Amino acid sequence: MKWLSGAVLAVLMAGSVQAQTIVATGDLGLVVERASGSLLLVDQSDRSAIGRIEGLGDLSHASLVYSPDQRFAYVFGRDGGLTKVDIAEKRVAKRIVQSGNAIGGAISDDGTLVAVSNYEPGGVRIFDADTLEPVADIPTGSKTIGLVDAPGRRFVFTLWDAGETWIANLSSGAPEITKITGMGSNPYDALITGDGRLYITGLFGEDGLTALDLWDPAPAPIRVLPEYGRGQQELPVYKMPHLEGWARAGKAFVLPAVGHHQVLWIDADSLAETGRTQTHGQPVFAMSRPDGRHVWVNFAHPLNDTIQVIDTLTRKVIHEFKPGPAVLHMEFTSRGHEVWVSVRDAGKVMIYDTRTFEKRGEIEADSPSGIFFTSRAHRTGL
Amino acid sequence: MKWLSGAVLAVLMAGSVQAQTIVATGDLGLVVERASGSLLLVDQSDRSAIGRIEGLGDLSHASLVYSPDQRFAYVFGRDGGLTKVDIAEKRVAKRIVQSGNAIGGAISDDGTLVAVSNYEPGGVRIFDADTLEPVADIPTGSKTIGLVDAPGRRFVFTLWDAGETWIANLSSGAPEITKITGMGSNPYDALITGDGRLYITGLFGEDGLTALDLWDPAPAPIRVLPEYGRGQQELPVYKMPHLEGWARAGKAFVLPAVGHHQVLWIDADSLAETGRTQTHGQPVFAMSRPDGRHVWVNFAHPLNDTIQVIDTLTRKVIHEFKPGPAVLHMEFTSRGHEVWVSVRDAGKVMIYDTRTFEKRGEIEADSPSGIFFTSRAHRTGL
């Protein structure tokens, strides 16, 4: 009889475990805990942490992307580590070290390929998203940066040393490469617009930026803001701004100025500058609230305790506050009602209402940096 | 020993069931099966059906929205039924009949409120998304249509009889109502742009459309295309086009013309017409591929076996094909690599590659109509 109750108990217990293993991942996210090489799994709806995944290696400057079903995250570590994390089971599903020094990655629009951008050896390596088995190796002979996904099973990336952008099209198996030369001196980062049409690189070696129209069958470099950049800088550059932090707000792009206490407004069609807004410090991220009405800006050291909010109609700062020491990143909920803010030296992620600016919650985290919500799975170029 | 093996077997079986109950919902969707009052649960990645949920009542003209975690769908039936469906457990979680005759619904940007638009009694009723308990009742004394969510815990909807649009703001508890009069004669449907800024109503009782800028603190009606509409119609109108089927392609809106074999191009800033493209029949939906490069169009009876694809740069038809009898709806994967098409009288959902136009799969379905992927949870106005 004891065995029988044991059996019944096992079934009952298994039943209860089963109910708990339904994990709806649409409102989850991962926070990079750089110092400890771990990821904090968070739930937007409950404004809480629901787990921690460890053993991710060097997570300085780490980023990640999600599988289309929002069950798996692919984490790109600075040490060349590529880790597939199962957020439903809260564990590392697979981990490889694919190079000696990497900088970011992307997932193809069909969710089947994961690409990583490498400094050493320079190039891009592409892996099967399911198994992490290698699919293609594209050596470039250069540090390779600004890797993004583009529609049509393509990846776009840029060569720091050669000043070239390459488009790798994997729609029919082996990569077909299109090379665009003359992108400028030492491109250091790039972005792609949400519609996958415009690819823009920031330059370290000269002023200005360079854009490509990926709808053009033979894209040619388009010079943008030729007077913009480090050349005219009035202040030392504490941190190069993140190009992924550019915001699209209605008809304008909002761009953190390099070395200035300003954000720049650029017309999305002509790519001409249309104005500047003075800010508290050197901007690092200028992030558009999903509706495009407000832009939230954080700043480089030593002014990195502050956030300013700019109205995109008036282009004026309408709100300023100090979440705490070392505000590193901001992530909006997908429809923009709240924003999550990493405050590294407070050891917290703070959550704010984006309309009243009231604090709605906070979560303990170990030196939090990047915040990545699973809704990124459904967007191009994130 | 038999009991013991029974217990072990139970644990083993439970273990395997447990593994299967991790349901990642990011790449799932529901297909409305109108004739049988059921929903077919589909998996985009596997291009397959994975379940059927029955007992939904009258699903003619039904639509649905998703909870932020993408676990629950809220299904709005024509019979006034509001059904909360658990797609992880593949069952009806709760069902109420909230009115005698309803037409569509929406979920608030924070995911806590579900609103339904009613003909009889005319008005909007708002429910707690968790429990479906009533939260607010907003009688309008009119058939009420064009209900959408707007950022800031707002719902926007329009009165067929009175020609008014009302904005209900629930950000501080009880709804605060703003009424805009003079929207025109018999507005029959409406849309909100993806950024939540522009609300546009189609008119049945007069030519033209009416827009509202919701960023304006006191929005006033803006007349759009005053010569557009039924007044100049050359052909009988077989089916009023769906305004949710408007497409945003770069700087243009693409609009199915009423009663003409045309789609209209409208400048997104000035709202002026900038061109027309001749089409195979009277368009019902003109849906933009997520990158905005192509627009897919289906047509009213008796030409509803055909789809045309229009290039948004040249505004020319670049592809035409016949999926089968009664093409009712199209839904793109979130990053646009495939499109799913309901072919009602073939009893199938067809799946196509959006670049090669090759058929990638098909799924048996019982008189399929609307297709709704879970990625809609993360967008405004869907």
What residue has token string 């033209």? Answer: B208
Residue of B nearest to A28 (CA): B69
Residue A236 has pLDDT above 80, yes or no: no
Cβ of B335 within 8 Å of Cβ of A25? The answer is no
Instruction: Identify the residue with better confidence: B235 or A4.
Output: B235
Q: Which of residues 171-200 of A touch B (CB under 8 A)?
A: 171, 195-197
A312 inside 8 A of chain B by CB: no
Residue A8 has pLDDT above 70, yes or no: no
Q: Give the per-residue pLDDT at B120.
A: 87
Q: Give the per-residue pLDDT at B21.
A: 57
Residues from chain A contacting residue B71 (CB–CB below 8 Å):
22, 24, 26
Closest in B66, B291, B380 to A196, CB measured: B291
Q: Give the per-residue pLDDT at B226.
A: 85
Contact of B68 with B26, CB cutoff 8 Å:
no
Residue A3 has pLDDT above 80, yes or no: no
Contact of B87 with B27, CB cutoff 8 Å:
no
How far is Cα of residue B45 from the mean position of the Cα atoms in its chain?
A: 21
Residue A2 has pLDDT above 50, yes or no: no
Q: Which of residues 125-154 of A touch B (CB under 8 A)?
A: 149, 151-153
CA distance A171 to chain B (A): 10
The tokens of A80 are what? 């060349």
The tokens of B317 are what? 């038809």
What percent of chain A stands above pLDDT 70?
89
How many CA atoms lie within 13 Å of A80's alpha carbon, on the beta-carbon side?
Answer: 14
Q: List the B317-321 sheet strands across, edge first.
A: B283-288, B294-299, B307-311, B317-321
Residues from chain A contacting residue B18 (CB–CB below 8 Å):
14, 17-18, 21
ipTM score of complex: 0.91
State how far the Cα of B205 lies from the Cα of B222, in Å rounded to an integer.
Answer: 17
Selected residue of B67, B69, B172 to mutate for chain A interface (largest A Cβ count, 10 A)? B69
State how far the Cα of B149 lies from the Cα of B181, in Å rounded to an integer.
Answer: 20
Q: Give the per-residue pLDDT at A21.
A: 57
Q: List the B338-343 sheet strands across, edge first.
A: B327-332, B338-343, B348-353, B359-364
Q: Which amino acid is at B354?
A: T
Contact of B222 with B165, CB cutoff 8 Å:
no
Closest to B241 in 3D by CA, of B284, B295, B187, B191: B284
Q: Give the per-residue pLDDT at A205.
A: 87
Q: Which of residues 315-374 of A touch B (CB under 8 A)?
A: 333-338, 355-356, 374
State how far the Cα of A78 lies from the Cα of A104, in Å rounded to an integer.
Answer: 8
Instruction: Identify the residue with better confidence: A11 or B264.
Output: B264
Q: List the A327-332 sheet strands across, edge first.
A: A327-332, A338-343, A348-353, A359-364
Residues from chain B contacting residue A196 (CB–CB below 8 Å):
291
Contact of A324 with A359, CB cutoff 8 Å:
no
Q: Which positions of chain B have pLDDT values less than 50?
A: 1-20, 233-234
Q: How many CB atoms lie within 10 A of CB A131?
A: 10
Cβ of A71 within 8 Å of Cβ of B215? The answer is no
Q: How many CB atoms lie within 10 A of CB B260?
A: 20
* Distant-in-sequence, close-in-space partners of B86: CB < 8 Å, separation ≥ 6: B71, B72, B92, B93
Contact of B342 with B329, CB cutoff 8 Å:
yes
Q: Which amino acid is at A322?
A: K
Q: Give the per-residue pLDDT at B2.
A: 36
Model confidence pLDDT, tens digit, residues A130-154? 999 999 999 999 999 999 999 999 9
Residue A13 has pLDDT above 70, yes or no: no
Cβ of B291 within 8 Å of Cβ of A18? The answer is no
Q: Give the per-residue pLDDT at B22.
A: 67
- β-partners of residue B43 are B28, B48
Closest in A69, A152, A195 to B27, CB measured: A69
The tokens of A372 are what? 């990545």
Q: Give the per-residue pLDDT at A22.
A: 66
Q: Give the per-residue pLDDT at A229.
A: 66
Q: Which amino acid is at B203?
A: L
Q: Give the per-residue pLDDT at A259.
A: 80
Q: How many CB atoms lie within 10 A of CB A148?
A: 24
Mode of pairing for the β-strands spanning B72-76 and A307-311: unpaired
Closest in B4, B7, B215 to A293, CB measured: B215
Residue of A nearest to B110 (CA): A337
Q: Give the per-residue pLDDT at B18.
A: 42
Burial A66-91 (b: 16+ CB within 10 A, else e): bbbbbbbbbbbbbbbbbbbbbbbeee
Q: Which amino acid is at B369?
A: S
Cβ of A334 within 8 Å of Cβ of B378? The answer is yes
CA distance B231 to chain A (A): 33
State how far the Cα of B137 lies from the Cα of B127, in Å rounded to an integer.
Answer: 9
Closest to A142 in 3D by CA, of A126, A163, A114: A163
Cβ of B18 within 8 Å of Cβ of A22? The answer is no
- β-partners of residue B177 are B168
The tokens of A66 are what? 């999600």
Count of A-B CB contacts under 8 Å: 194
Distances (CA, A) of B208 to A234, A238, A317, B253, B273: 54, 54, 38, 15, 11
Residues from chain B contacting residue A130 (CB–CB below 8 Å):
none
Hey, CA dihedral for A227, A229, A231, A232, is it positive or negative?
positive
Model confidence pLDDT, tens digit, residues B198-207? 999 988 888 8
Residues from chain A contacting residue B336 (CB–CB below 8 Å):
109, 151
Q: Give the per-residue pLDDT at B240.
A: 66
pLDDT band at A120 (very low <50, low <70, confident <90, very high): confident
Model confidence pLDDT, tens digit, residues B29-38? 999 999 999 9
Cβ of A378 within 8 Å of Cβ of B375? The answer is yes
Please compute the mean of the pLDDT values over residues A13-31 and round it to a whole number.
68
State how far the Cα of A55 lies from the Cα of B329, in Å rounded to an integer.
Answer: 46
Closest in B45, B335, B378 to A109, CB measured: B335
Closest in B17, B69, B333 to A24, CB measured: B69
Q: Give the per-residue pLDDT at A72.
A: 98
Instruction: Identify the residue with better confidence: A116 or A6.
Output: A116
Q: Give the per-residue pLDDT at B3.
A: 36
Q: How many CB atoms lie within 10 A of CB B46?
A: 11
SS3 A342: strand
Residues from chain A contacting residue B335 (CB–CB below 8 Å):
68, 109-110, 149, 151, 378-380
B226 inside 8 A of chain A by CB: no
CA distance B249 to chain A (A): 9
Closest in A7, A11, A109 to B3, CB measured: A7
Q: Give the per-residue pLDDT at A251.
A: 80
Residue A233 has pLDDT above 70, yes or no: no
Q: Give the per-residue pLDDT at B381.
A: 83
Please compute the mean of the pLDDT values over residues A287-307 and round it to a whole number.
95
Task: Render A194-249 in DSSP notation, one character per residue.
Answer: TTS-EEEEEESSSSSEEEEETTSSS---EEE-TT-SSTT-SS--SSPPPGGG-EEE
Cβ of B293 within 8 Å of Cβ of A215? The answer is yes
Q: Give the per-residue pLDDT at A152.
A: 96
Q: Give the per-residue pLDDT at B237.
A: 57
Cβ of A197 within 8 Å of Cβ of B291? The answer is yes
Q: Give the per-residue pLDDT at B164.
A: 98
Q: Give the per-residue pLDDT at B382.
A: 77
SS3 B221: coil
CA distance A26 to chain B (A): 4
